[in-house]
Amino acid sequence: MTEQDRYKKMDISVLYVEDEPAAREKTARMLKREVRTIYLAEDGVEGLEIFKRHNPDIVITDIKMPRMDGLDMTRAIKEINKLTPVIVTTAHDDTAFFLKSIEIGIDRYVLKPIDQSLLTETLVEFAETIRRTEELRQKNKLLEEYKRAVDVSSILCKTDTGWRITYANDAFCGISGFTCAELTGKEYLFVIKHDKQEIMLRDMRSNLESNNIWKGIIEHRRKDDTSCFIDLTALPILDADDKVVEFIYIGNDVTELIDLNSRLKKLSDTDTLTQAYNRMAFNNIIETEMQRAKRYKTPLSLILFDIDNFKKINDNFGHLAGDEALKRLACIVSATIRNVDILVRWGGEEFVVIAPETNLSAANEAAERLREAIEGSDFDGIGSVTSSFGVSQFREDDHPGALIKRADEALYKAKEKGKNRVELEQ
């Protein structure tokens, strides 16, 4: 970044809602130096009206305010535009607040008194995400124009009811690198990176076998073993007696778009220290997994855990050593869990593993494997580290907060019983 760029205002608009005049004035002065446009409000009612009128790029809000608090205002804003980033300035650290924040979709927290340099860094990060999102929107628009201008069947493949390829057109062969002769007779799985797409492929097959159309983006395998992504529509072909005789797959190459989207999602969804998913990503992932568990009536479990006595590590070895311990822990867990499991850094030294198609008993065994792997690993410069675990299983009437709460209560019980152990929900 050049000196000139450093003092160039971010090309974003910010709504700042704060009922305390001194705090509002101090932070507003900083914001006026950093961003193109700032809107100020004294409470949630005024803030919501300004949001409806001006649709700012980012919202920064206090929580406790007269007439309408910051969380209720955020809920209303997310109903208007769920993509608007909301930063909450708070002195709260209680579980109820964070559970409500998860439900609403708060994007970031900044503790009071506000560290202005931290707030600026957060705005820079969101400004970059907004810029990239706009780039993605423009590319999406171009892609739609492209699709409209070309034949929708430019990439086409057919299989029989046994999922064996019977035909692939030139465009399909061109993107995959295989000839039609090389593909004919092979199972469709032959050209799909199926090891990480088991659930999606099962969903596709289930729809097709039920005579339904399926749409989605599938990662395909090229002949040189690199990947390409096809925005695919798969549909059953019926004969005069409504019997399925074959399946047809029509798609477009969206590899460039997916690459861009992956970089954007990595920027917004990844914890920079541990490379695990962050809390913002958790909200979307858990909703998707809960819906899938309901639809297919499959189990879903949550494993919440943290490093025991983490404060002592920071106090005795320093915060850099603490950071290295968190990174080491994330590596150990990532190497131990399944491909379909999802690791999230919940905050501080706390982590969550989302375990699809896993009941409470299996999740208990998985948590025990993690506990043993962590305890049996060497943490450079620190020595041995242990962790405590709380495990909960999704119930049909659950919302994300309830699932997390039961895992948190189980984790608390593990701490009370001496740490370095696994406890299950009640």
215: three-class secondary structure by DSSP: strand
β-bridge mates for residue 218, sequence order = 230
Q: Are 224 and 230 in contact (CB under 8 A)?
A: no
Which of 34, 324, 349, 425 does the annotation list as catalytic?
349
**Nearest by Cα to 66 from 31, 99, 19:** 19
Cα-flanking dihedrals φ and ψ of residue 353, to 5°? Answer: -115, 120
Length of the chain: 426
The rounded distance, in Å, linking the Cα atoms of 373 and 207 is 39
Q: Are 69 and 371 in contact (CB under 8 A)?
A: no
Whether 349 is catalytic is yes
Q: Are 334 and 282 in contact (CB under 8 A)?
A: no
The rounded distance, in Å, linking the Cα atoms of 290 and 384 is 36
CA distances in angstroms from 168 to 113, 173, 234, 255, 373, listed in the order given: 62, 6, 14, 19, 47
- Indicate which residues carry an active-site annotation: 349
